[in-house]
Amino acid sequence: MKDTKSTKKTEKTAVAGKKLVESYKAFLDAGKTERECVVQIIAMAEAHGYKDIASCKSLEPGDKVYVQKMNKAIALFEIGKGSIEDGMNILGAHIDSPRLDAKQNPLYESDCITYLNTHYYGGIKKYQWVTLPLAVHGVVCKADGTVVQVNIGEDADDPVFCISDILPHLAQDQMKKTGAEIIKGEDLDVIFGLRIPSEKDGKTDDEEGKDSGKKKKGKADGKKAILELLKKKYNIEADDLKSAELEIVPAGAARDCGLDRSMILGYGQDDRSCAFTSVAAMLESSAGKRTNCCICVDKEEIGSVGATGMASHMFENAVAEVIARLPEGYSELSLRRSLANSIMLSSDVNAAYDPKNSSLYDKDNSSSLGGGLVLNKYTGSRGKSGASDANPEFIARLRGVFDKAGVSYQMAELGKVDQGGGGTIAYLAAKYGMNVLDAGVAVLSMHAPWEIIAKEDLIQAYAGYKAFLKI
């Protein structure tokens, strides 16, 4: 006879996993910038009873609050029954991803084509960004205080944008260059519009003067036409672009990948695969004795700098605001004890083993697609530079937690020693004296415009984060 209870449990788990995956893909589609992610996280949190901490004068066990910073970073807290000085259970991820940013004077016209001038953000292979359909997301802040939301290229009726490349017939010189030189940073300018050439084009100023009887078009008519369209759609002027934050990202939705639909192809899965599952785990958990926290920060891809990066005081300030509202009241010592006694999973992705480039990996110490939650004792590069290097006692404790919860996990490094490396926010949390371990999802084609993860790994990450919050 079949085990009916076991079958129903398996079916229920499969349905829950499918729901998680579909919610995640929707999160990716609506959150292609850190600002868009924060908007979604706040909406999700408020639907689960979280309140803006600014509206709370005091806090007690069971209360749920969030602290957001400049619309680009956010921390969620659920107050536990014990003293916060005994530490918190923290999930920490980042919500920024590699992309192109528009410069502050972005529009220019060259030989009838209008371009958006860009500066790339984060570690990218520049040649991967040419000849792709691109979208523009962001905000334009006007001098009167108005903030205009911009999103062009995602709807079916929207135009998309593109960066041109040289045709193979004329690319003999280009093809002799290294991958780093094929496309230069200053060549990553996005085609924004086209002006139909007039008789005036190609003439000297003297020749133009002789055509006084003909209607002349200005040299920047194409740029002017683009500005008129922006004025009509968004009511913004040319000067408003000086205080804009426009991010250029791949246009299109996250999709199932593979004939068996076992994977997800999407933009920004580093690190939104871990950010989404961390937030979801936080919202579906209940704090016990210890206070639970989930923090999603900005700027990790460029060194965790700025007011919204993990290297700032944003996180400790948020914790201070929580402590100040607890019955015990705020003290510097309480803050220090709380942070030092906390434990954290640095929810960040790891490089998935690539069979097509196996020489770059130590296979026995690599993470595989479908292998479950990736635990990375240390990141960094060349001699563990830039790593926090988690304590084995903490790893052993987590192994016990995950084993008990039935979570699949794998121990891995980024790649071969001396091959390269990378970092996470782990070392910035470890400076407070807390135990920290990198734990996330394996990603294939990391930092490419379109990245690949396994659905199974997303599900296991969510399960692992939930189990961690129960400690």
C-alpha dihedral sign at 228, 230, 236, 242: negative
The residue behind tokens 């260059």 is 177
Sheet holding 373-376, edge to edge: 51-52, 64-69, 73-78, 291-297, 88-94, 343-346, 435-440, 373-376, 409-411
* Residue 2 pLDDT level (bands cut at 50, 70, 90): low
- Residues 94-137: tens digit of each pLDDT: 999 999 999 999 999 999 999 999 999 999 999 999 999 999 99
H or E element in which residue 226 lies? helix 221-234
Is omega for the bond preceding 298 within 30 degrees of 0, making it cis? no
Query: At what angle are helices 4-30 and 269-283 packed, to 10 degrees?
Result: 130
H or E element in which residue 321 lies? helix 314-324
H or E element in which residue 190 lies? strand 190-194
- Residues 162-196: tens digit of each pLDDT: 999 999 999 999 999 999 999 999 999 999 999 99
Nearest to 79 by CA among 278, 274, 285: 285
Long-range CB contacts for residues 13-18, cutoff 8 Å, separation at least 24: 17/455, 17/459
Return the DSSP state at 219: T
Nearest to 139 by CA among 187, 70, 228: 70
Q: Kindly state the tokens that stand for 198.
A: 């007039």
Fill in the amino acid letter for 242: K
Catalogue all structural domains in the chain, each as residue range(s) with its CATH number.
Answer: 4-97+268-469 (3.40.630.10), 99-250 (2.30.250.10)
- Residues 329-373: tens digit of each pLDDT: 999 999 999 999 999 999 999 999 999 999 999 999 999 999 999
Q: Which residues have CB under 8 Å from 2's CB, separation 6+?
A: none
Fill in the amino acid letter for 87: G
Q: Kindly state the tokens that stand for 259.
A: 């004939």
HEC secondary structure over 83-119: CHHHCEEEEEEECCCCEEEEEEEEEEEECCEEEEEEE
C-alpha dihedral sign at 70, 76, 80, 85: negative
Q: Which residues sit opposite 439 in a β-bridge?
A: 375
What pLDDT, on the 0 to 100 scale, is given for residue 10?
77
- Output the pTM of the full model: 0.93
Q: What is the mean pLDDT of residues 49-58?
A: 98
